[in-house]
A and B are shown apart, each in its own frame.
Chain A
Amino acid sequence: MLLEGRVALVTGASRGIGAAIARAFVAEGASVCLCARSEGVEVLAAELAGSGRTARAWRGDLADASFGKQLISAIRKEHGHLDVLVNNAGILRQGLIGMTSTDQMRELMEVNVVALMALTQYATRIMDARRSPCVVNLASIAGTQGMAGVAAYSASKAAVVGYTLASAKELAAKGIRVNAIAPGVIDTDMVRGAAGDWYERQLQSIRMGRIGTPEDVAGVAVFLASDLSRYVTGQVIGVDGGMTL
């Protein structure tokens, strides 16, 4: 198994891409620590623990820095270290440029960027270079290409790309790899909740002719978390069915 003996933290793990990554990690032998705001994360952890693997859930809001600190502290107490951090938690807010409030802009930046950076600060301090540690950030095609109708969200995900590249450079010397995944249109509640005909319009631009699944993204996360990618850092891998071609 690709992740046997690895300890991984997946944020935003109650559903969608985060839940798929958690399931894929457990299937590959990892012990998983899951966090999310909703109770779904506890249900998922119970389901995964039933398969005989270690799966723990923490409920809380990562926008509250003290929660991130408590989470990492608890993982250190339980496992002694962390091998893989998957920064998946995030929110989407639609709105034309002229119709996005500053409160919405701040909320996007606080959740998608600041919380991610703060958690990375704590998490990388309990990573051990000898265990081939890594960080996988969930960016978005909106962050690499820009997407009309979600400009503020695009900006927040572009920030995730920048942070990924900078932290890959800074942390390489400590043996920590940092990569990002930029999903295209993936079949999740977050995307399905998009207003109007946005979902249908996006589908027309996907060369492979189908919406992606959370499992499509999870497969790449497994690759980036495993030693198959041991010489890969500072990369942003698109999982978009050819949308960017």
Chain B
Amino acid sequence: MNAEKLRDSFSRALGIPAGQVTDDLAYNSLKEWDSVAHMALVVELETEFDVMLDTDDILGMSTVSKAREILSRLGVDFDAA
């Protein structure tokens, strides 16, 4: 469920189809994921998962899988169905 939320959050924030959100999708690898969109993504993730990211996390959130790793550390469970 949270995996879907993560994918949908990326899709909304970057304005790309959900199918394009893969684990290895990387920051700056497509024009839709620039620095402005990155900040929109941060707000989207914070709202959706009720967390607050540190600046180091924001700077380090370079891929979708990295985002999952950061959110997991903040207590979001990606293993539950």
Contacts and interface: CB of A to CB of B under 8 A. Distances in A.
A65 B52 CA distance: 12
A69 interface: yes
A73 B55 contact: no
A72 B52 contact: yes
A147 B54 CA distance: 36
Interface of A: 65, 69, 72-73, 76-77, 118, 121-122, 125-126
Interface residues of B, number: 8
Interface in B3-42: 39, 42
Residue among B42, B50, B52 with most chain A CB within 10 A: B52
Residue among B42, B43, B50 with most chain A CB within 10 A: B43
A125 B54 contact: no
Contacts of B43: 125
A69 B54 contact: yes
B48 interface: no
B77 interface: no
B35 to A, nearest CB: 11
Interface in B32-81: 39, 42-43, 46, 50, 52, 54-55
Contacts of B39: 125
Please classify the interface of chain B as helix (H, G, I), strand (E, B), loop, or mixed, using the class held by over half of its residues: helix
15 contacts: A65-B54, A69-B52, A69-B54, A72-B52, A73-B52, A76-B52, A77-B50, A118-B55, A121-B55, A122-B52, A125-B39, A125-B42, A125-B43, A125-B46, A126-B46
Q: Which 10 A-B pairs have the closest CB atoms?
A: A73-B52, A125-B43, A69-B52, A125-B46, A121-B55, A72-B52, A125-B42, A122-B52, A69-B54, A118-B55
Nearest to A122: B52
Nearest to B39: A125
A227 B22 CA distance: 43
A173 B39 CA distance: 13
Contacts of A118: 55
Contacts of B42: 125
A49 B22 CA distance: 49
A121 B50 CA distance: 17
A125 B52 CA distance: 9
Given A73-B52, A125-B43, 13 more contacts: A65-B54, A69-B52, A69-B54, A72-B52, A76-B52, A77-B50, A118-B55, A121-B55, A122-B52, A125-B39, A125-B42, A125-B46, A126-B46
A125 B50 CA distance: 12
Contacts of A126: 46
A122 B43 CA distance: 10
Residue among A72, A125, A126 with most chain B CB within 10 A: A125
Contacts of A65: 54
Contacts of A125: 39, 42-43, 46
B40 to A, nearest CB: 9
